[in-house]
Amino acid sequence: MRKNHHTHTPRCGHAVGEEWEYVQAAIEAGYDALGFSDHTPWPGSIFPSTRMGLEELPGYIEAVKNIKKQYGDKLEISCGLECEYYPKHMTWLKERIEEYSLDYIILGNHFDYIDESEFYFGRCRTKNDIILYLKTAIAAMETGVYDWLAHPDLYLSEYYKFDDTCVKAAREICYASNNLGVPLEYNLLGLMSIKEGRFPGLGYPYYKFWEIAAEENCSVIMSVDAHSPEHIKNTAIYDEGIDNIKKFGLKRLVFTKEGLVEAD
């Protein structure tokens, strides 16, 4: 059976489809588990066009609860958030995790906190950009708050060559993943985007990154990163992702009520 725990909603401003549409797509595509993990809001104004507002968070939680009541007999539905790492807001995040009894937290290392800018790591074009991504990712992983790291090779989206700096970032992220127990996400939306020629750079998931992940004995969770119900329906890309992970010799994990466990 298929599982996905990286699913967005229109609240983030760049996804389409209501919760029930994602659930119905999952049922039709043979999923037995679907988790929602929309982009978290943050106090203040941190790149607001890419995430729900603070006032929308309770409604998001309630919507997932309602959909769980409606469809919970057909598949396992869970609720989490995809979050960056902003040190000054970690207390706020931990309070929300407890308040809403969130099932999991995904580290989506999209934006820089070190220089307090809104630099998007999907636009890394210099070696310094990549080193900043690396430092931010590892600092976040060290907090113990996040259950896995989404699209760890995001920094290759617009970078044109897998040079020594890219290797360093991959090696250190993968080493940290293994030693800190924070699995890496093999991202299927990225795989779709590669096939559609959407990345100006190497893109992700990039095979050389995942070869290093295998060398470092990293554990992997595969996610659709669905921004449309159509992404859930794309079972061919899901099956291709499974095959790729097997070819790399990586241990694949899945999220369950008991937490992350090895896939069958």
Mean pLDDT, each 10-residue run in order, the chain (264 residues): 97 96 98 98 82 96 98 97 95 98 98 75 97 97 98 98 99 99 99 97 99 99 99 98 98 95 93
CATH number at residue 183: 3.20.20.140
* SS3 at position 248: helix
Closest CA to 25 of 190, 240, 167, 238: 238
What is the reported pLDDT for 140?
97
Tokens of 229: 């119900």
What's the pLDDT at 199?
98
Q: Which domain holds residue 233?
A: 2-262
Structural domain tally of the chain? 1
- Phi, psi (degrees; rounded to nearest 5) at 31: -85, 150
